Chain A
């Protein structure tokens, strides 16, 4: 019995390690390529440790490719502003749907649930035309405003506020705080874990988005990183050392974010994956 158990365990470890290798190899290969010279890259030999370790690829993309820092900045501006607005507006809507009664509340909630099922492709062309009418193509607001709420997280915040103890709010109201005062001073600070999970996913959504910027932004100086990276690939078609270095710069911020907020990540996913 005991022996059988350990064979099973060995098998499980085998699966886990094999899959870890499968997951890691592409990343290690990309990182290693980003520190190789072009000569080594084109030679086609398989070595994960660069023979001539060099930072030149990183220097090149920051110094020679003037737009690269700009793309990084654009991505940051859109990501940070978009995420802040989402946190605020999604919580406001979630709170109203959970706690306040007003005519049309049910309809609004049903619409928000329905929106969850609507693929972005239907709204993609009309949104382009609307932004064009507004003169918002190639602008930060064109990227931010249409995405400053998120149905998934409104839904998630509503669930959170429904389970939130009412007594606290009643006590605050007794103490003379207004509804908005209660919301901003009592409710929001206590919602931090839910907000943290949301912040990560919304930021990643903005940071990694490819299709919306592709449609909305055509001026290279307004590009976000994914778009920049794509044109970069076209320009340096066989300079995989540069392309990999740029890819690593693009990935690093999200990895750092993950490092800091690891536990909220898993929580956030189980939130969205829950019943």
Chain B
């Protein structure tokens, strides 16, 4: 009996210690994360007027149904979709190839690793400005292309290539980050697997396909999910690239840029912007879950 009491006293003390250590986290979670998520749902069913004191008018589902009539929203969705579908596979593959190459036991690995890591360190704002400078009409990219005898483009002014320009820049910028994740995972693959394969007469390519790739599957799943989340949220680069407009001719307009414009650049459309944001979150969540399910089923074989 007595023992029990001291136990509960102890657990009471431990609980209070736990809550004090968690207090800042609980505060931020409640005020700036959980609260806002609920608030976002609330906003998405309302028309919001921000002049003076904010007013909310309930409009039901119309914010959501309006999306399908909004040609800019459809364009933004299409651009974002195209961007995700093209960038995620390429950056994942490039990261894997770079990591495998770096892991092959060559000299000077650490120097290459430092060099490759530079884009990861540099802010998106700076990277975008550097690329804009290179994408100039008579900038470095076009000069190199013409030296190689390839066609040149008006990268920033031509709607048919502007999004591709951003894709190239971002694949270049993010692949090395995922490469480092792959590198760490490569170190965990037991050498004995490779030694066994070598005894069976497998060459380097076969070892890569039959040992490295399958063993990296959980990490690939992680890299693809991170890639999906990142690409769906493309904003900084399109914003800076187009001066906030999503131009030329809406070709670099992404979903997040559109949310920003409706929320902060035009009046009375904040609720609509919240509805698009809620939709985007659901899309990201579904894509993440699908990817998880897909990669789990795959690993059953």
Contacts and interface: CB of A to CB of B under 8 A. Distances in A.
Question: Do A and B come together as binding partners?
Answer: yes
Interface of A: 8-9, 12-13, 15-16, 19-20, 22-27, 29-30, 33, 44, 46, 85, 88-90, 92-93, 95-97, 100-103, 105, 108, 111-112, 115, 117-130, 145-146, 148-149, 154, 179-180, 183, 204, 207-208, 210-211, 214-215, 225-226, 229-230, 233-234, 240, 243-244, 247, 250-251, 254-255, 258, 262, 265-266, 269-270, 272-275
B133 A244 contact: yes
Interface in B15-70: 15-19, 21-22, 24-26, 28-29, 31-37, 39-40, 43, 54
A95 B114 CA distance: 33
A207 B256 CA distance: 21
A129 B54 contact: yes
Contacts of B243: 234
Interface in B95-122: 97-98, 101-102, 104, 106, 108, 112-119, 121-122
B184 to A, nearest CB: 3
B129 interface: yes
A179 B37 CA distance: 34
14 contacts: A9-B106, A12-B104, A23-B116, A102-B15, A121-B277, A122-B281, A130-B35, A183-B21, A210-B240, A215-B260, A226-B126, A251-B123, A262-B114, A273-B180
B24 A89 contact: yes
A187 B289 CA distance: 36
A23 B176 contact: yes
Contact of B43 (A85, A125, A180, A233): A125
Contacts, number: 257
B166 interface: no
B285 A24 contact: no
Interface of B: 11, 14-19, 21-22, 24-26, 28-29, 31-37, 39-40, 43, 54, 97-98, 101-102, 104, 106, 108, 112-119, 121-127, 129-131, 133-134, 136, 138, 140, 143-144, 172, 176-177, 180-181, 183-185, 204, 218-219, 222, 229, 232-233, 235-236, 239-240, 243, 256, 259-260, 263-264, 270, 273-274, 277-278, 280-281, 284-285, 288
A29 B140 contact: yes
A273 B229 contact: no
B101 A266 contact: no
